Amino acid sequence: MALLLYRLGKFSYRHRWLVVSLWLAILLAAGGAAAALHGTLSNNFQIPGTETQQMADKLQKELPASSGGSAGVVFQANDAQFSQAGKEAVSAALAKLETLPDVRGTVDPFATQDQLDQAAKDLAAGEAKAAAGKAELERAAAELAAGKEQLAAAEAQMTAAGLPASAIEAQLGQQKTALGAGQEKLDAGTREAEAGNARLALAKRQFEASQGMRFVSEDGKAALAQVHFKTSINGLAPEVRQEVQDIVGTVSSAGVTALPSKEISEDVSEIFGVAEIIGIAVAALVLIIMLGTLVAAGLPLLMAVIGVAVGVGATMALSSVVDMSSISPMLALMLGLAVGIDYSLFIVNRHRGQLLAGVDAEESVARATGTSGNAVLFAGLTVIIALAALVVPGLPFLGVMGVSAAGTVAVAVLVALTLTPAILSLVGRKLISKGAWAKAERHNADPNREAEDRARDEHRSSHGWGGLVTRHPVLALLAGVLALGIVGLPAAQLRLALPDGGSEPADSQAFKAYDATKRSFGEGMTGPIIVVGDLPDGLGETEAQAKQLDVADILRRTENVTAAIPVALSEDRGTAVFQVIPKEGPASASTVNVVSDIRAERAEIEDSTGVSIGLTGQTAGNVDVSTKLGDALPSYLAIVVGLSLVLLLLVFRSIVVPLLATGGFLLSLAAAFGAVVAVYQWGWLGSVFGVDNPGAVLSFLPIILIGVLFGLAMDYQVFIASGMRESFMHGESAKHAVRSGFSHASAVVTAAAIIMVSVFAGFIFSHLNMVRPLGFAMAFGVLVDAFVVRMTIVPAVMYLLGEKAWWLPRWLDRILPDVDVEGAKLRRHEGATGAASEGEPDAEPAEVAAR
């Protein structure tokens, strides 16, 4: 592979304009495709085949009026209470919303609350009327009974007096007729009262079912409207969301403030913000300090931007045919920038060092591509494989994320291996400052330079960080493991959920709407649970309503449920829809339990009512997604860990090194999880990282972090350990090879890690709240993995093990293919062709850069 990349580097150098033209054409094609074909990004995390999706499909087919998405708008009176003008303005805004093509309908809070209040009055009046009717019936029954007694007594007297029956009938027949009519009237009144009582009981049950649910707050300062859309919330275009906000915002002229919920106010169309630019600026500063010139520093940045533009452009172009979440291009952007800068940096830095050592420019580019480029290729493959493996859990939105990010990383690798050599040929000597050139020329003219280089290398390897770690390997090992173990302790309390409005920044409109709803109507109103019921066939209207209320009664008895209301019934009375209001928000642990408890009550509901139920809606769907992701986590982790063992076994031809690298990765992962839980779930240092409202961790963060951190950790493992292996294979003792190999790679790995952390850290303050914990997790994970695991624990353990670190059974050595990451075959090729006669010493990039 090293020879192939060597030739690729030389080809790119010699055919620079062809390579540049090809990449320019690819860039324009990707940009044009993104502009012409991009679709609507969403945060749709539904999983086909799940109960929530099946119930949503059922509603779409059998009760379309109750399908589609819905969102809330909180209206707050600027004065003590809503004025009549304010109420009219709200109603007018909602009426205007109903004219939008994407809106199915709205729920006017004032009209609905009036209906609820009137229902309470009607119920009270009905109960009073029923009581009066009952008293009247009892009076009539008493009078009828008294009349019957009198009639019976008179008949008995006449009979005792010996009057004939005809005479008795003649005298008492009229009274008997009157009493019969009275009995019939009483019976009819009783039947009417019973029917009225049944209607009253049904109305009372309906009223009780709606208790705990209000649309205008008790203090009259807030009103909660509902907007029902024809499509899912996630399918709304940004312009539709903005139009809804503009219309409800017109109420401000009437002294009312409109606060649309997160579902409406969230804008996922932009993927780049100010915070990300700051992260790139920090990376640029590190490059300038390391490489010394703006040209050298700008080149890796330019390569990264081109790679990201192509990768993210292709991703955006596919968004019109693939249901893509907003985080997919963000993840591709995040990783593309980080690895794109690092991969080009490795090659540029190697080339820069070789130029200073006196190597011809063309030969230097070819060698840098064959050596550092070889490691870049392998490191990039590990990231690509780990990201592409996100399709394994079978979650469509996660697979799209993984494949889009993997594709962008693949583009970054191709850019580094082809476009970077071509640009280096155009840059020429401008890559290095005049001062560095003069210093290099003086050094190359010194006849004792080789001895001085060896002495300097020996001093640096024994006195730098690597020297400190290897002088106290046991202490370094224990300190590193203990530190990561302590940081990782909070990971045991990890709780997963998809974010709701309560996790948004305190100054955002989404949080203000969530907070206003919580204060005025109860937190559960921010995320109702939708229950769909299959009713038995052949029910009449009253029977169907009674069945609905029977189901609602059982649902309302569920722990942590505030209300359970029947909200819709299909025309054939076969499908019913219920809205269950939990006590807390959709991302809370208690609401997750409510979803589980309702599902556990299915058998009870079906046995007692004959109604089978299923759950749907955003809240239940989010719970399902989080559960599925949590269940997929162990298997995905096993795949990644197994993959890391196999890949590192191929690279380092050692049993210990892969086990050490994988163990270190698990430590870094635990520490990253622990830090995320402490900051985003517990709220530690929340003011620093903008966590105003700590809550559950983003449900797909762990599985993405595993894939990304694995790939990046293996990057640093390759660059650190390959230098140690190279020194060992060149005849150094195993323990000395740890020091010299570490010193050769430490500078460039340090710079690369700082750059990657800087880029990821820029996303900690992203305008997309969902991306923030992901940026933090990646930045922290890379930080601890690079500096604690790869640059402290790994050299300490390998120094302690000595030659045992490179042990491999002979039978395994014979069957393993030689991937030659260190480029040993390339050096043999150089020796055979006389290339080595140009006087460039075998050195890793960091070794030359440090001179």
Domain edges within the chain: 114-210, 279-432+464-500+623-849, 528-584+586-616
pLDDT for 355 equals 85
665: how many CB neighbours lie within 10 A of its CB? 24
Q: How far apart are CA 669 and CA 770, in angstroms?
A: 20
pLDDT for 841 equals 38
| CATH ID of 279-432+464-500+623-849, from 2.115.10.20, 1.20.1640.10, 3.40.47.10, 1.25.10.10 | 1.20.1640.10
DSSP letter (8 states) at residue 614:
E
pLDDT tens per residue across span 136-150 = 888 888 888 888 888
First vs last Cα of the chain: how many Å apart? 29
Q: Which of 247-251, 260-264, 330-334 shows the lowest per-residue confidence on average (mean pLDDT)?
A: 330-334
| Residue 315: half-sphere exposure toward Cβ, Cα within 13 Å | 32
446: how many CB neighbours lie within 10 A of its CB? 12
For residue 311, give both structure tokens. Answer: 């990768």
Higher pLDDT, 199 or 78: 78
361: how many CB neighbours lie within 10 A of its CB? 17
pLDDT for 837 equals 39
530 three-state secondary structure: strand
| Res 562 pLDDT > 50 | yes
| Res 270 pLDDT > 60 | no
DSSP letter (8 states) at residue 536:
P
pLDDT tens per residue across span 152-173 = 888 788 888 777 777 777 777 7
pLDDT for 846 equals 36
Convert 722-773 into a string of H (helix), E (strand) and C (coil).
HHHHHHHHCCCCHHHHHHHHHHHHHHHHHHHHHHHHHHHHHHHHCCCHHHHH
Q: How far apart are CA 784 and CA 517, in angstroms?
A: 41
Using a 10 angstrom Cβ sphere, with 0-12 exposed, 13-18 middle and 19 or more buried, the burial of residue 627 is middle
pLDDT tens per residue across span 306-323 = 999 998 888 888 877 777
Neighbouring-strand partners of residue 256:
77
pLDDT tens per residue across span 655-696 = 988 889 889 999 999 999 999 999 999 999 988 888 888 888
For residue 369, give both structure tokens. Answer: 């591509």
500 three-state secondary structure: coil
Orientation of helix 656-676 relative to helix 473-488, angle to 10°? 40
From its phi and psi, is residue 496 left (phi > 0), alpha (psi between -120 and 50) or beta?
beta
pLDDT tens per residue across span 20-66 = 999 999 999 988 888 887 766 666 666 777 788 888 888 888 887 77
The residue-averaged pLDDT of 476-488 equals 95
Higher pLDDT, 540 or 825: 540
Using pLDDT thresholds of 50, 70 and 90, give the confidence band for residue 271: low
47 three-state secondary structure: coil
pLDDT for 334 equals 81
Q: How far apart are CA 551 and CA 492, in angstroms?
A: 38
Using pLDDT thresholds of 50, 70 and 90, give the confidence band for residue 836: very low
% of the chain at pLDDT higher than 70: 91
- Residue whose pair of structure tokens reads 């392998």 in the numeric block: 378
Q: Which fold has domain 528-584+586-616?
A: Alpha-Beta Plaits (3.30.70)
Phi/psi at 505 (5° precision): -55, 145
Burial code of 224-237, b = ≥16 C-beta within 10 A, e = fewer?
bbbbbbbebbbbbe
Using pLDDT thresholds of 50, 70 and 90, give the confidence band for residue 845: very low
pTM as predicted: 0.79
| Res 450 pLDDT > 90 | no
| Res 126 pLDDT > 60 | yes
779: how many CB neighbours lie within 10 A of its CB? 24
pLDDT for 81 equals 85
Dihedral over Cα of 329, 332, 338, 341: its sign: negative
